[in-house]
């Protein structure tokens, strides 16, 4: 979700073939106004109540001598759209000042409730602006686990067996479960959404499922069956940082935004995306789930089928996939657990 918001801000500032390619990458239909749709989503994702909280924030960090420069700076129409549709804060900064990167890191930490405090490098002398998005989510289990549900057993990683991993065991009636020839999936409800656990069949890896572009949408719109669920899932807490351009090299994102992209709806000068980085945090225990993520885009100057089931056992003691969805079914966080004890 964080990456989608950040790329949508970039799409709003693009034109021509670059805009068309970004819209295809974002799976936006010709009639979809991405900014207006995300504006509605922003309102839905901003709340805090007992046992549940969700927040999203956007910010633009702009080289100070680009602001107010008619014909040689940032386009006012794009800035207006960022303010009114993306609710983005726009700040004119001096990237050569060492205090700027600290200020940016502090902003991320504040928006993610202290869960992420990134080391931000804005030393590129050609840096023009940085687009940022943060997402924060916290929810208690609708049916919490108890201390008596805790056990320690082995987890069978790809290359090693990890002993004494703490697990949560639960027995729930009438839970949503999906069986296919590739995986077994189950949903556990949260106070403001749900968490989906996907265990690939033996011989398949979690990344094999994610490599299918339609996997997440197929999972969302599949006809889930109801079943008596006995689940065993590991407690975990970890952080992850990803070079998005490298990770999505096979999807052609770098070809769209690097080299000579058309960012003329955003800037009066030629520019390209130099880096897209993302950092995430997630923790799961007997009380619930807490997750946070941030995405940073730096721009520099250039030239399954329904099944009826009675009872399902799901023991997540080898690498598995998780998806955190809010009440509207939006996939806020997606990840793979390969080692529950890794931080």
Q: Find out whether 15 and 94 touch, Cβ atoms under 8 Å.
A: no
Residue owning tokens 């890794």: 342
Q: Residue 207: pLDDT band by 50, 70, 90 thresholds? A: confident
| The two three-digit tokens of residue 338, written as one number | 């390969």
Q: Which residues pair with 167 in a beta bridge?
A: 151, 234
Q: What digits encode the pLDDT tens for the residues 55-110? A: 999 999 999 988 876 555 899 999 999 999 999 999 999 999 989 999 999 999 99
Closest CA to 335 of 210, 245, 154, 191: 210
Q: Determine whether 280 is exposed, middle or buried from the number of CB atoms within 10 Å of its CB (0-12, 13-18, 19+).
A: buried
Domains of the chain: 2-139+238-301 (3.30.497.10), 142-235+305-337 (2.30.39.10)
* 154-163, 246-255, 271-280: which is most confident: 271-280
Q: How many CA within 13 A on the CB side of residue 240? A: 21
Element (H, E) at 335: strand 331-337
Whole-number pLDDT of residue 196:
92
Q: What digits encode the pLDDT tens for the residues 309-332? A: 567 788 998 898 999 988 877 888
With a cut of 90, say whether residue 197 has pLDDT above it: yes
Q: Residue 132: pLDDT band by 50, 70, 90 thresholds? A: very high
Average of per-residue pLDDT values in the chain: 89
């Amino acid at each position: 979700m964080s990456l989608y918001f950040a790329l949508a801000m970039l799409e709003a500032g693009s034109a021509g073939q670059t805009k068309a390619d970004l819209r295809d990458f974002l799976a936006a239909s010709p009639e979809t106004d991405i900014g207006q749709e995300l504006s509605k989503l922003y309102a839905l994702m901003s709340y805090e109540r007992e046992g549940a909280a969700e927040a999203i924030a956007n910010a633009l960090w702009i080289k100070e001598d680009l602001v107010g420069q008619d014909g040689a700076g940032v386009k006012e129409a794009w800035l207006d759209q960022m303010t009114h549709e993306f609710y983005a804060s726009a700040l004119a900064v001096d990237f050569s000042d060492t205090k700027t990167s600290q200020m940016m890191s502090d902003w991320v930490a504040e928006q993610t409730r202290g869960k992420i405090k990134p080391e931000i490098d804005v030393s590129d002398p050609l840096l023009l602006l940085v687009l940022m998005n943060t997402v924060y989510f916290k929810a208690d289990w609708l049916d919490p686990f108890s201390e008596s549900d805790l056990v320690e057993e082995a987890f069978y990683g790809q290359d090693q067996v990890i002993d004494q991993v703490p697990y949560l065991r639960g027995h729930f009636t009438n839970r949503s479960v999906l069986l296919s020839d590739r995986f077994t999936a189950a949903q556990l409800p949260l106070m403001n959404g749900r968490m989906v656990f996907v265990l690939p069949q033996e011989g398949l890896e979690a990344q094999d499922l994610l490599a299918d572009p339609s996997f997440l949408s197929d999972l969302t719109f599949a006809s889930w069956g109801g079943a008596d669920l006995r689940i065993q899932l590991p407690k975990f807490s970890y952080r992850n940082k990803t070079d998005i351009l490298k990770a999505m090299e096979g999807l052609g994102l770098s070809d769209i935004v690097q080299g000579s992209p058309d960012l003329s709806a955003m800037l009066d000068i030629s520019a390209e995306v130099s880096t897209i980085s993302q950092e995430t945090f997630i923790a799961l225990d007997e009380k619930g789930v807490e997750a946070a993520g941030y995405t940073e885009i730096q721009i520099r100057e250039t030239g399954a089928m329904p099944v009826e089931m009675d009872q399902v056992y799901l023991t997540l003691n080898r690498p598995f996939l998780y998806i955190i969805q809010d009440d509207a079914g939006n996939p806020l966080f997606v990840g793979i657990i390969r080692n529950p004890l890794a931080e």
